[in-house]
Amino acid sequence: MQHVGSKFELVFSGDALEWSSPVANIRLEPWPYVTARQKLRASGWESCHVSLPRCLLRLRPPNFSSNSELARCQQAGWEYTRRIPEEVRAIVLRYRENRWQVLKGLCYIPYGLRLAEANPALFWCLMERLPSDVSQGTFLTECAQIIKNPQANVAEFAGFPNSPKVARILRKVPAWDATPHTMSYLRTLLKEPAHLDLLSHLPLVTDAAIRLLWHAKSFLNAGLLRKLIIKMPPQAQRATVPIFADLFSLHHQLGISIPVETRFRGLRAVEEHYASLQRLYARKEAYATVAFPPSPVPGTKTIVPIEDEHGLMVESKVMQHCAEDYSGLARDGRCYLYRVVAPQRATLRLERTAGGRWFVSELKLKANREPSPETWRAVQHWLYLQAPIEGKGEGEESERTNTNHDKHS
C-alpha cells in the first residue's frame, strides 16, 4: 500500500492484496477453486480478516504532520490508547475481531478481566452479544451476575450447551481464533455428542480444526474425520478446509444432495469425487442455457420432467448412469426424460412410435439396476392417464409397452 496525498493505493504483497486505512484493514487472498465466480462475482479474490479496530491498533504516534481532520482523529486515538492500562490492552490485542466490544466489557463488567484471562473464547462470546450502547438494557447486570458462576453456566448464557466439557473445550480455543463464523460453527458442533467427544481430545481447538470439522462432517465417516481432526497438523488442516468448503458449495450449486449414507472412507475418494464435480460444474457453465423442448406428457409430484442440459447432467451424476448421452435426442425432441421419485428413485425415458403413441423406452434405477414391478406399474399407470392420444398405431404402442413391462415383471 502506498499513501499518495489523502488517498491510498492498492499494491500486491506476495500472493495477496492488502489495503489499509486509519479505520480498517482488509486483506484479499486468491480463491483458486471452481466456485470463485459465484463467491467472488467473477473476481479471483476473497475478502479475509476485515476488521475495524478503532484506535486499538494505533500503538505508535501517527506519522502525519499536517493539521488535517485525519491527523487530528489519529492523534485523538493515540491519546486514548495511551490511557488504556497495559494489561487491558494486552488482552484486547489477543483478539482478531470485536476488539471494541472486548474493551467495553473489560471496562464495564466486574470480574471480566479474570474470565478473559481464564477462558478468552468464552469471554469473547459474551462480548459478541454486548449491545452497542452498554448504558442501556440489563445485559451488563446479567453478565455481572452470571460471570460469578461456574464457566458451564456462563457458556449456556453465551449460547452453548451447559456442560463442564463444553467449558473445557472453550478454554482450548485461542483468543485469536474467536471470530463470529468460527464460534457460530462451534455452537452447533458442540450440540452433537460425537463432535463434543472429538473436540475434547484436542490439545488446542483451533479455527482450522473447527472449520474442517464443520465442512467435512457431511462427507467423511467417523473414523477418518477423527483422524483428520486429531492427527492432521494445523497447517495441513487450513489447506484442507477450502477443498471441503468448495465441495459443499459445488453440491449446492449443482443441486446434488450429499450422500450421507455413503460417506467417504479416504481422502483419495474425496479428491476423485471433487474432480468429478469440477468437470460437471464446467459443463454446467458451458451448457446452462440449453433447454429441452417442453415435455408433451405432463409430470406429477413423483414423475418430474428433466427440462434442460444441466438437469440431465445432474440426474446422470446422481443416478450413476449414462442418461446424459441422450441430451442430443432430448434437444431435438426425439425423446423425453423424467426423474422418478416414487415408488423407487429412477430415471425414465419416453419415446414415440411411428404411429404417434408414447411408450416407456427405458426405466432404470441407480447404476442401471432394474426397477421393481410396482415401479413399472406406477409409471405405466401415469403414462396411461397423462399421455396425449395422437394419430394411430395404438396396437403397435400397446404391444411394445406390454413387451417392456413383461420383460421387467
- Per-residue pLDDT tens digits for 284-312: 666 656 788 888 888 898 999 998 887 88
Point out the least confidently predicted range of 47-51, 152-156, 165-169, 264-268: 47-51
Domain membership flag for residue 292: no
DSSP lists the bridge partners of residue 303 as 340
- Cβ burial, residue 409 (10 Å; 0-12/13-18/19+): exposed
* Structural domain boundaries, residue 89: 51-265
Query: Which of the residue ranges 7-21, 175-189, 239-253, 257-271 has the most confident prediction, judged by mean pLDDT?
Result: 175-189
Is residue 305 helix, strand or coil? Answer: strand
Tell me: do 12 and 27 sit in the same domain: yes
Confidence bin at 234 (pLDDT 50/70/90): confident
Whats the size of the chain, residue-wise? 409
Confidence bin at 3 (pLDDT 50/70/90): very low
Q: What confidence score (pLDDT) does residue 167 get?
A: 94
Nearest CA-CA partner of 152 in 141, 140, 139, 168: 168
Bond prior to 203 in cis (omega within 30° of 0): no
Tell me: do 80 and 228 sit in the same domain: yes
Tell me: do 361 and 232 sit in the same domain: no
Measure CA 4 to chain center: 39
**H/E stretch holding 45:** strand 45-51
Does residue 169 surpass a pLDDT of 90?
yes
Tell me: do 61 and 25 sit in the same domain: no
Domain membership flag for residue 97: yes
410396482: which residue's cell? 374
Looking at per-residue pLDDT, the higher value among 322 and 61 belongs to 322
| Grid coordinates given for 129 | 452479544
Tell me: do 21 and 88 sit in the same domain: no
Number of domains in the chain: 3
Q: How far apart are CA 331 and CA 318, in angstroms?
A: 21
Does residue 159 surpass a pLDDT of 60?
yes
CA distances from 376 to 275, 335, 364, 405 (A): 35, 19, 10, 7
Does residue 68 surpass a pLDDT of 50?
yes
Tell me: do 13 and 136 sit in the same domain: no
Average pLDDT over residues 256-261: 68
DSSP symbol at 261: G
Does residue 395 surpass a pLDDT of 50?
no
Tell me: do 223 and 143 sit in the same domain: yes
Domain membership flag for residue 275: no
Domain membership flag for residue 295: no
Tell me: do 260 and 336 sit in the same domain: no
Q: How far apart are CA 95 and CA 124, in angstroms?
A: 8
Q: Which among 238, 265, 292 is the end of a domain?
A: 265
Tell me: do 109 and 240 sit in the same domain: yes
Tell me: do 37 and 91 sit in the same domain: no
Alpha helices in 119-233 (DSSP H): 120-128, 139-146, 151-157, 164-171, 180-189, 193-200, 207-216, 222-231
Structure-derived torsion over alpha carbons of residues 404, 406, 407, 409, reported in degrees to the nearest 10: 120
* Phi/psi at 209 (5° precision): -65, -40
End-to-end CA distance of the chain: 73
Q: How far apart are CA 199 and CA 348, in angstroms?
A: 46
Average pLDDT over residues 16-21: 60
Contact 150, 128 (CB under 8 A): no
Does residue 164 surpass a pLDDT of 90?
yes
- Cβ burial, residue 231 (10 Å; 0-12/13-18/19+): exposed
Helices then strands, each counted (H, E), the chain: 19, 10
Domain membership flag for residue 286: no
Point out the least confidently predicted range of 14-28, 111-125, 130-144, 235-249: 14-28
Point out the least confidently predicted range of 75-89, 202-216, 351-365: 75-89
Domain membership flag for residue 313: yes
Contact 59, 81 (CB under 8 A): yes
Does residue 171 surpass a pLDDT of 80?
yes
pTM for the full predicted model: 0.59
Nearest CA-CA partner of 94 in 180, 176, 178: 176
Domain membership flag for residue 356: yes
Contact 48, 67 (CB under 8 A): no
Q: Which among 265, 291, 320 is the end of a domain?
A: 265
Tell me: do 178 and 200 sit in the same domain: yes
Query: Which of the residue ranges 47-56, 113-122, 226-235, 381-390 has the most confident prediction, judged by mean pLDDT?
Result: 113-122
Tell me: do 63 and 123 sit in the same domain: yes
Domain membership flag for residue 38: yes
Q: What confidence score (pLDDT) does residue 394 get?
A: 41
Q: What confidence score (pLDDT) does residue 28 get?
A: 63
Q: How far apart are CA 9 and CA 2, in angstroms?
A: 5
Q: How far apart are CA 222 and CA 204, in angstroms?
A: 20
